[in-house]
Structure 1
Amino acid sequence: MIRIATIGSNFITEQFLDALKHANMFEIAGIYSRSTEKAQALAAKHNARFVFNTLDKLASCSEIDAVYIASPNSLHFEQAVQMLKAGKHVICEKPLAADFGQAKEMFRVAEENNVVLFEAFLTEFLPNFNVVQNSLENIGRITQANLSFCQYSSRYKKYLEGENPNTFNPTFANGSIMDIGYYCVATAVALFGEPSSIKASANLLGSGVDSNGQVLFVYPNFSLAITHSKVSNSFVNSEIQGEKAAIQIKSISQMEQVLLCKKGESDIDLTEVQHNNTMYYEAIAFAKCVQSGEMDSGKVARSLSVAKILTEIRHQTHVVFPSDN
Structure 2
Amino acid sequence: MIRIATIGTSAITYSFVDALAEVSTIELAGVYSRSRETARKAAAAFGAEQTWTDLDAMLASTDVDAVYVASPNGVHHEQALRAIRAGKHVLVEKPAVPTADQFSVLLDEAKDAGVVIFEGMRNAYDPGTAALRALLPKLGQIRRVSLAYSQRSARYDLVLTGRSVNIFDPKLAGGALYDIGVYCVSMLVDLFGVPQAVTASNVTVGSGVDGAGAVLASYPGMVADLSYSKITASDRPSEIQGELATVTFDRVAAPRELVVTYLDGKRDTERLDLSPANMRFEIERFGQLIEGDDPAADQLRTLHTLETIDAIRASSI
- Into which bin does the TM-score normalised by the smaller protein fall? over 0.9
Number of residues of Structure 1 aligned to a counterpart in Structure 2: 317
Q: What corresponds to 1:203 in structure 2?
A: 203
Provide the rounded CA distance (Å) in 1 between the counterparts of 2:213 and 2:79: 30
- Does 1:162 pair with 2:159? no
1:148 deviates by: 0.5
Q: Deviations over 1:139-190 (max 9, x none)?
A: 1100101000111111111111111211211011011111101100000001
Query: In the alignment, is the contact (CA less than 8 A) between 2:81 and 2:106 conserved in 1?
Result: yes
Amino acid at match of 2:102: Q
Amino acid at match of 2:298: K
- Does 1:214 pair with 2:191? no
Amino acid at match of 1:296: P
1:41 deviates by: 2.1
- Does 1:24 pair with 2:3? no
Q: What corresponds to 1:8 in structure 2?
A: 8
1:272 deviates by: 2.4
Provide the rounded CA distance (Å) in 2 between the counterparts of 1:88 and 1:129: 29
Secondary structure of 1:179's counterpart equals: helix
Amino acid at match of 1:279: M
Query: In the alignment, is the contact (CA less than 8 A) between 1:118 and 1:295 conserved in 2?
Result: no
Amino acid at match of 2:91: I
Provide the rounded CA distance (Å) in 2 between the counterparts of 1:258 and 1:92: 29
Query: In the alignment, is the contact (CA less than 8 A) between 2:176 and 2:212 conserved in 1?
Result: yes
Secondary structure of 2:134's counterpart equals: helix
Consecutive unaligned residues in structure 2, runs of 5 or more = none
1:276 deviates by: 4.6
Amino acid at match of 1:221: G
1:308 deviates by: 1.2
Query: In the alignment, is the contact (CA less than 8 A) between 1:258 and 1:269 conserved in 2?
Result: yes
Q: What corresponds to 2:295 in structure 1?
A: 296
Provide the rounded CA distance (Å) in 2 between the counterparts of 1:295 and 1:47: 32
Within 5 A, what are the aligned runs for 1:159-198? 159-198=159-198
Provide the rounded CA distance (Å) in 2 between the counterparts of 1:39 and 1:56: 15
1:207 deviates by: 2.4
Q: What corresponds to 1:87 in structure 2?
A: 87
TM-score normalised by the chain length of structure 1: 0.94
Amino acid at match of 1:278: N
1:275 deviates by: 3.8
Amino acid at match of 2:184: C
Query: In the alignment, is the contact (CA less than 8 A) between 2:142 and 2:242 conserved in 1?
Result: yes
Provide the rounded CA distance (Å) in 2 between the counterparts of 1:221 and 1:298: 25
Percent sequence identity over aligned pairs? 35
Secondary structure of 2:128's counterpart equals: helix
Q: Deviations over 1:246-302 (max 9, x none)?
A: 11110111112211122443432122222452001111111111111x542111111
Q: Deviations over 1:76-133 (max 9, x none)?
A: 0000000011110000000010212111101111111000011000101111111111
Q: What corresponds to 2:238 in structure 1?
A: 238
Cα 1:225–1:276 change in 2 (3 A) is closer
Amino acid at match of 1:53: T
Cα 1:144–1:103 change in 2 (3 A) is same
Query: In the alignment, is the contact (CA less than 8 A) between 1:116 and 1:295 conserved in 2?
Result: no
Amino acid at match of 1:167: I
TM-score normalised by the chain length of structure 2: 0.97
Provide the rounded CA distance (Å) in 2 between the counterparts of 1:148 and 1:107: 30
Q: What corresponds to 2:66 in structure 1?
A: 66
* Range 44-53 or range 94-103, more displaced: 44-53
Provide the rounded CA distance (Å) in 2 between the counterparts of 1:150 and 1:311: 21
Consecutive unaligned residues in structure 1, runs of 5 or more = 319-325
Within 5 A, what are the aligned runs for 1:27-42? 27-42=27-42
Query: In the alignment, is the contact (CA less than 8 A) between 2:202 and 2:214 conserved in 1?
Result: yes
Secondary structure of 2:233's counterpart equals: coil
Query: In the alignment, is the contact (CA less than 8 A) between 1:29 and 1:50 conserved in 2?
Result: yes
Provide the rounded CA distance (Å) in 2 between the counterparts of 1:297 and 1:287: 15
Runs of 4+ in 1 over 4 A off after TM superposition: none
Query: In the alignment, is the contact (CA less than 8 A) between 1:68 and 1:90 conserved in 2?
Result: yes
Provide the rounded CA distance (Å) in 2 between the counterparts of 1:53 and 1:195: 43
Provide the rounded CA distance (Å) in 1 between the counterparts of 2:25 and 2:44: 20
* Range 88-97 or range 272-281, more displaced: 272-281
Query: In the alignment, is the contact (CA less than 8 A) between 1:126 and 1:274 conserved in 2?
Result: no
Provide the rounded CA distance (Å) in 2 between the counterparts of 1:78 and 1:19: 26
Q: What corresponds to 1:119 in structure 2?
A: 119
